[in-house]
Amino acid sequence: MPASEFKAKCLRILDEAAAGSEITITKHGKAVARLGPVAKRSSSYGSWKGLAEVTGDIVHSDWSQEFDATREDR
């Protein structure tokens, strides 16, 4: 599709791409861009399930021994 046609009909062409069509845009007869649908992503909720493991209590831990500023034996 020539760039001039894309410019004149861009909203309709974007609707076509959203529906699954892939369009190659040309300039002076040479392909310069490809327009297509964005891959559907599933919900991010729960997407990390099984990829990390929590060990211990991360909310009520005593971190005082981990940081020099909180040590009394300095």
pLDDT digits (tens, 9 = 90+) for 2-37: 888 888 888 998 899 889 999 998 999 999 999 999
- Is residue 16 in some structural domain? yes
Are 70 and 62 within 8 A, CB to CB? no
Residues 6+ apart with CB under 8 A from 16: 23
Q: Compute the average pLDDT of residues 35-64.
A: 75
In a domain, 73, yes or no: no
pLDDT averaged over every residue in the chain? 80
pLDDT (mean) for 32-48: 79
13 occurs within a structural domain = yes
Domain count, the chain: 1
Tell me the whole-structure pTM to 2 decimals.
Answer: 0.47
| Mean pLDDT along residues 60-73 | 66
Kindly report the CATH number assigned to the domain that includes residue 9: 3.40.1620
| Most confidently predicted of 2-11, 33-42, 46-55 | 2-11
Examine residue 47 and state whether it is found in any structural domain, yes or no: no
- Is residue 59 in a domain? no
Q: Is residue 54 part of a domain?
A: no
Domain assignment of residue 33, yes or no: yes
